[in-house]
Amino acid sequence: MEWLQQLINGISLGSIYALIALGYTMVYGIIKLINFAHGDVFMIGAFIGFFAIARWGLGFFPALILAMVVCAILGVLIERIAYKRLRNATRIAALITAIGVSLLIEYTTIFFRGAQPEAYPDVIPNKSFHFLGAQISMQSIMILSVSIVLMIILQFIVHKTKIGKAMRAVSYDEEAARLMGINVDNTISITFAIGSALAGAAGVIFGIYYTKIDPLMGIIPGVKAFVAAVLGGIGIIPGAVAGGMVLGVVETVVSALGFSLWRDAAAFVILILILIFRPSGIFGKNTREKV
């Protein structure tokens, strides 16, 4: 039952990617920006969770919610301060700014607390169950259930609430949405808030699962989550979840086959294959330029 074990590990990792990828995909869907700083919001979430649990003695859920709130605020600040002016700038300027914001968050964090890693405290009892020969830890179950609950809430917000309707309208046609009386600025800010909150949650979950966090931890998962978003079809919410899961499972399988040093390459190989053969992603529709 080795494969079942790997599948479970892969899904646990994949759900972390999925949570980060959701923020990428929502932001890209609404303002067509690859928010490189998103991985760093994830890192900040992990640190907030760490301080909440280890220093202030909060439990898992209060820490999770605190991290989400702080990250939501951070996301809105990033958007208002850096990205808002760039709405009509070139894509290159926007991408460079996003890289700048990412570096700024990383090195400001290092400046204040150093680059050394931190060990995450145990908040979830380290129990595990046996199921069809596979070992399922309490943490895996926790990760998965938190991720699923958050995704259901997100789905509800996007499809059943007024703000969700506004988000979809703005991502479809910003100008038309504005003419219909939608407050585009607020809608974009709320999108950043929700996406960043999900990244914050992913940070806390990552810390608990992998137990080690550091100020540069957001770079690789951030880029991989973007790969997941592209894989699922950027701008498509269920696509981000599916892409994250696929990526998590593939990486776990590559590691299990004894190629753990190649694990990071797997994500990029997938990225390039998908960009070349199906750039619109698994769930995406093809669009063409109007001449």
Q: Where in 45-182 does DSSP place strands (E)? A: 118-119, 128-131, 134-137
Query: Which position among 31, 43, 52, 106 is part of the footprint of other proteins (CB under 8 A)?
Result: 106
Taking the least distance from each CB to other proteins, the nearer of 97 and 191 is 97
Query: Which position among 61, 85, 117, 131 is part of the footprint of other proteins (CB under 8 A)?
Result: 85
Smallest separation (angstroms) from other proteins to the CB of 154: 23
Q: Tell me how far apart the 2 most distant CA atoms of the chain are, in Å.
A: 60
Query: Which position among 151, 167, 271, 284 is part of the footprint of other proteins (CB under 8 A)?
Result: 271
Q: Map tokens 């806390």 to a residue.
A: 204
Distance CA 268, CA 278 (A): 15
Distance CA 128, CA 137 (A): 4
- Locate 275 and state its tokens: 């960009």
Helix (H, G, I), strand (E, B) or coil at 192: helix
Please name every residue paired with 134 in a beta bridge, in sequence order, or none if there are none. 131
Compose the 206-225 pattern: x for residues touching other proteins by CB under 8 A, - for all others: -------------x---x--
Q: Does 253 bind other proteins (CB under 8 A)?
A: no
Of 129-168, binders to other proteins (CB under 8 A) are: none
87, containing H or E segment = none
- Determine whether 83 is exposed, middle or buried from the number of CB atoms within 10 Å of its CB (0-12, 13-18, 19+): buried
Q: Does 282 bind other proteins (CB under 8 A)?
A: no
Q: Does 54 bind other proteins (CB under 8 A)?
A: no
Query: Which position among 54, 65, 104, 134 is part of the footprint of other proteins (CB under 8 A)?
Result: 104
Q: Where along the sequence are the contacts to other proteins (CB under 8 A)?
A: 32, 34, 82, 85-86, 89-97, 99-104, 106-108, 110-111, 219, 223, 226-227, 230, 261-262, 264-265, 267-269, 271-272, 275-276, 279, 288-289, 291
